[in-house]
Amino acid sequence: MAKNTLDQKMQQIVSLCRRRAFIFQSSEIYGGLNGCWDYGPLGVELKRNIKAAWWRDMVTERQDIEGVDCSILMNPKVWEASGHASSFTDPMVDCMQCRGRFRADHIVKNQCPTCGTKDKFTEVRLFNLMFKTYVGALEDSSSQTYLRPETAQGIFVNFDNVVNTCRVKVPFGIAQIGKAFRNEINPRNFTFRSREFEQMEMEFFVKPDLEEANKWFEYWKQERYQWYLKYGIKQERLHLRPHEENELAHYAAGCADIEYDFPFGRAELEGIANRTDYDLKRHSEVSGKDLKYFDAEAKTHYVPYVIEPSAGADRATLAFLVDAYEEEPENERTVLRFHPAIAPIKVAVFPLVNKEGMPELAEKLTKTLKKKWHSFYDDKGAIGRRYRRQDEVGTPFCLTVDGETMKSNTVTVRQRDSMAQERVAVDQVVGYLEKQLTGI
C-alpha cells in the first residue's frame, strides 16, 4: 500500500475516533496537551473490553497467575534499585532552525523531521524520562519521588507478599494492569506513543535454570502472539520478532517483540523478555530484604528467573481499531469489524417507526439486553442510516422492532459483517445473542 494511502487511512481513523466518541485530545478546549489523550464513551468501552479479555485469559481462567494493583507512587529507592533513576534516559537534540526537539536516534540523514533543515542540531544530551513529583508539604529532595514509568517494579517489590499470603508455587505469575508515565521527548502517531499510558504486564517466576526459563520464554511468546489472533488481528499484519544480541538489555537472556503493521509503519505491541533474576536480586540488595523463594519439594532457597510479557493497553486498542477498520464503497459504509468480545456496543435496538407501540417494545427490549451487554437504543433517522451508524462503531448485531413484530412477536436481527437478516422471537433474543456472543 502506498505511503499516501497509509497516511490517509490513519487520518481517517483519527477522524472517526474523534467523530464517534472513541478518543479525544486531552483538555482540547484549552488547546490540548501533547502526548495525552482522553477516551470517550465508546473508546473507554473498547479499551475496558480489551483489558477485560487480557485479565480473563491471563488471570481469571488460569490457576498459576495472581493479580495485584500497585500504587503509582512508590518509594524512590525502588527506581534506584531498578536502574531507572540513573539510566532511564533518551538521547535528545534540538533543531536550531525550527527549535523542534527530537530523540537523536530518530534523526535520519541528519535532517530535521519537521522543517527538513540538515546538519543544524545541538549537541546530544541525555534526558531522563521519569516525571518527578513531591510527596508531602515540602518540595525538596527529601520528598521527591516519581510517577512510575512501568508497572513491573510494583510486582517485584510485592513478590514476597504474594508468596507468603497466596500459597503459590513456582512456576507462577503475578499480573497487573495500570497506568504508567514517561516524559517522552517526541510523542507521536496518535495514541501509540504517549506520556500517560496503560500497561498490561505479567511477571512469571520460574526456577533459575536456563533450560527451564527458555521453555517458558518460548511458551509465553506463542501464547501472547496467539492472543492477538484470537481477538481478530489479521495474521499477515502481526509479527513475532526475536531481538538481536545487540538489542538485549544487560540483564536479559532473551527478548522478542510482537509487532503490528500500523499505517505509520511496523511497531511494537508487546515485548516478551527473559529478565533472569536481575530484578529480585537488585531489590534484595538495595532493600536488605531476602527475596529468595523456598522450594519445599527441592528443599532449597533460590531467586527465581522471570519471564515478562509486557503489553500496552493503548497500543493494543489502537491496533484493534486499525485492524477492524474497513471501507466498503459498494455498500456505502465504513465498518469496524471488531471481534464481538471487544466491540464497545454488543447490540443496538431500533423501532422501525415511532408509533404503533414499537418504541415502547424496543425500549423494553433494550432494558432487558442491558442487563447482560452494553446495548444501545436509537430511534433517529431512516433505518438504513441507523444501521450504518452502528457499522461505523463496530456493533455486531442490530435488532429492529417493526410491523411484523406487533403481529408475530418476532424482531429482525441484522448481522454487521454479512448484513444478513433473520427473524427471531422476542422471548428467544437473549438466548440467540448468547450463542452469537459466546464467552462474553
Using one digit for the tens of pLDDT, what is the confidence trace for 127-174? 778 898 999 887 877 788 999 999 999 999 999 999 999 999 999 999
Q: Same structural domain for residues 231 and 180?
A: yes
Give the pLDDT of residue 94: 85
Residue 128 lies in a domain: no
Q: Same structural domain for residues 350 and 308?
A: no
Residue with cell string 533450560: 211
User: Which tens digits make up the pLDDT trace of 95-109?
Assistant: 988 888 787 877 888
Domains in the chain, number? 2
Beta bridge partners of 94: 101
Give the pLDDT of residue 440: 52
The CA distance from 47 to 344, in Å, is 8
Of 268, 291, 322, which one is at a domain's C-terminal end? 322
Residue 110 lies in a domain: no
- Average pLDDT value over all residues in the chain: 93
- Which cell numbers in the block locate residue 178? 495500570
CATH of the domain at 192: 3.30.930.10
Give the pLDDT of residue 5: 73
**Residue 106, number of CB atoms within 10 A of its CB:** 13
Q: Same structural domain for residues 375 and 241?
A: no
Residue 106 lies in a domain: no
Residue 277 lies in a domain: yes
| Residue 60 DSSP label | I
Give the pLDDT of residue 279: 96
Q: Same structural domain for residues 215 and 309?
A: yes
Contacts of 110 (CB under 8 A, 6+ apart): 118, 119, 121
Closest CA to 17 of 315, 261, 313, 336: 336
Closest CA to 309 of 48, 62, 30: 62
Of 291, 322, 353, which one is at a domain's C-terminal end? 322
Decide: 298 and 271 in contact? Cβ < 8 Å.
Answer: no
Give the pLDDT of residue 137: 81
Q: Same structural domain for residues 291 and 351?
A: no
Residue 54 lies in a domain: yes
Q: Same structural domain for residues 274 and 421?
A: no
User: Which tens digits make up the pLDDT trace of 203-231?
Assistant: 999 999 999 999 999 999 999 999 999 99
CATH of the domain at 376: 3.40.50.800
Q: Same structural domain for residues 221 and 318?
A: yes
Decide: 422 and 358 in contact? Cβ < 8 Å.
Answer: no
Q: Same structural domain for residues 288 and 354?
A: no
Residue 3 lies in a domain: no
**Low-confidence residues of the chain, pLDDT below 50?**
none
Give the pLDDT of residue 246: 87
- Domain containing 167 equals 40-74+148-322
